Amino acid sequence: MPAIDDLTAIRQLLDVPHPADEVTTAGRARLDELTRQGASRGRPGRKHHRTTSIRGRRAGIFATVTCVVAAAAAVTATLVLVHPRSAQPGAAQHAGRHRPAATAPSSVQQAILTAIGSAGGDVMHLTVSTSGGPPVARGVIQYWWWPARPAPGQQVRLLMVGNGMQTAVTFTEPAAPPARPVLQSIPASGLSIDPASKTWSTISRYMYGGVVAVTSRDLLDESYLRATYLAHSKVINGHAAIHGRTAIEISVPGTPTLHVLLWVDTRTYLPLRLVKLDSGATNYPETRKIYDYQFLPATPGNLAKLTLTIPHGYQKVSS
Amino acid sequence: MTHPSDAVLGAGAAGSWPGRGTDEQLLAMSLHQPEVFGELYARHFAVVYRYVAGRLGTDAADDLAAETFLAAFRRRHRFDPARGAVKPWLFGMATNLVARHRRAESRWYAALARAGSDPLVAPAARPSDEDRIADRVAASQARPLLAAALARLPDRDRDVLLLVAVGGLSYAEVAFALGIPEGTVGSRLSRARRKIIAALDQPEPTADGFPATLWRN
């Protein structure tokens, strides 16, 4: 004979599911932020610090939240699959630039922009690894670029190593960068070395807006970060917290086949790794581009990495 | 200088706190190792969340459950283990935060009263258990009355009732959570339950104070 008492009835009426992992993680991040402040003061805090509210994050998710939730399992699997490297010399060298933890998309976005702004004068080392997609695009290319975030009119030095070539080029940052993905040929000076044929040539033009522009410049460009949605930020099963990283999913409006994931250093909020998964090319396997970033202080030693020396015995050929 | 919590947990306990120690020991440790407080969060966030969500809805609980732990962390040096345990202390803070959202709480109960819910759709823990299904049916039918009755209760009575019914606290724990005598807990709970029962037009309480059941087949 079924029967329930009033307390059970109330319990059933007000019963709710356990909190979602996202909610638990966000709350924990807020607490961790506070505990760090408490630790730095050396005693329990008396001053109430406002911490980032999950409400703001929810408001910023907009319509992307549905697809984020639906894809949560796949995202997690992807994040584990593309587990970033553990050592980050660049991050270590920026240990003095610690940022408070941010959880809401807007605050995460701002923290990244602030971090990038503070690293704008650094040497950026970028490794781009491409798999899937058209075979011609596959491979690994390394870039050293200084300054990491040039101002219009500022001289830029760039070294590229990949596809069997080594190229060093110097150019002036255009006043008005072309809208992506338009390429723009601009005056430049530099040289290119082909180890296979043991030849070298001079360079007088640079195709501004090439691969670097649609990778690093995207990430370092405020308009890009502001135009995209930092839709999801989470610590993955504790791993990201252990290794000092946080993963963020970026939703790029109008590109449903493009899935972008960004890892930032939880201490500095500088980008560590960007992964773009593009399933839009139906004739090829999904394209996976992995961009690994290091921000290095512009010391003489790091700037020397931008210099290309012609090996002895190499022959000059016309450019 | 050895901190009292070090003595409690033993030499070398610092740094190996996860899963070890009572709540009260961990809270004491957190006074000089703030990060230890995270273990209390891990232990109690879900129950605090469900308590807050039961009273205000999940949207509000997303923030307020976390706020509860932030407030607790800030006030952890005021916690007196001689008076009670950490869990009811946390529930007390959660109740104080809920109190700042009384209108939202009323709206939540109104929404619960309006919301249709088919108890047969939700899978029972034991599908063959007809009693459980019948219980759900009964609760579903009583939902509007129950929600309305909760909304009408005086705040202080509702606090006691829901700390017991949803929070699962004992009289002594409720007394500690709300800072009131145990006798007051009993009287408020008695009054609240009588009103709930009356609202549902159920049989009068028995000699021991309450009916054993509300719905009988």
Q: Which residue of B has its CA nearest to A34?
A: B70
Distance, in Å, from the CA atom of B68 to the CA atom of A28, rounded to the nearest integer, reads: 12
Q: What is the dihedral of CA A76, A78, A80, A83, to 10 degrees?
A: -140
The whole domain housing A103 covers 17-319
Residue, of A126 and A86, whose pLDDT is higher: A126
Residue A11 lies in a domain: no
Query: Is the Cβ–Cβ distance between B160 and B188 less than 8 Å?
Result: yes
Query: Is the Cβ–Cβ distance between A108 and A230 less than 8 Å?
Result: yes
Chain B residues touching A26 at Cβ < 8 A: 62, 66
Residue A5 lies in a domain: no
Which domains are present in chain B? 18-100 (1.10.1740.10)
Residue A76 lies in a domain: yes
Residue A151 lies in a domain: yes
Distance, in Å, from the CA atom of B139 to the CA atom of B163, rounded to the nearest integer, reads: 20
Whether the full predicted model's pTM is greater than 0.90, yes or no, is no
CB neighbours of residue B94 within 10 Å: 28
Say yes or no to pLDDT of A281 above 80.
no
Highest mean pLDDT among A33-42, A97-106, B130-139: A33-42
Mean pLDDT of A151-156: 86
B200, A6: Cβ pair inside 8 Å?
A: yes
The ipTM (two decimal places) reads 0.75
B54, A8: Cβ pair inside 8 Å?
A: no
- Taking chain A, what is the end-to-end CA distance rounded to the nearest angstrom? 93
Chain B residues touching A101 at Cβ < 8 A: none
B46, A48: Cβ pair inside 8 Å?
A: no
What is the structure's pLDDT at B95?
Answer: 95
Residue A313 lies in a domain: yes
Chain B residues touching A54 at Cβ < 8 A: 62-63, 66
Residue, of A86 and A25, whose pLDDT is higher: A25
Quote the minimal CA–CA distance from B10 to chain A in Å.
22
CATH number reported for the structural domain that contains residue A312 in this entry: 2.50.20.10
Chain B residues touching A19 at Cβ < 8 A: 45-46, 49-50, 53, 61-62, 65
What is the structure's pLDDT at B32?
Answer: 75
CA distances from A88 to A79, A94, A272, A292, B205 (A): 18, 10, 8, 10, 68
- Chain pair A-B, CB pairs under 8 angstroms: 157
Say yes or no to pLDDT of A133 above 50.
yes
Residue A9 lies in a domain: no
Count of domains in chain A?
1
Quickly list H helices, chain B.
Answer: 4-9, 23-30, 37-56, 58-74, 86-99, 102-114, 130-152, 155-165, 171-178, 182-199
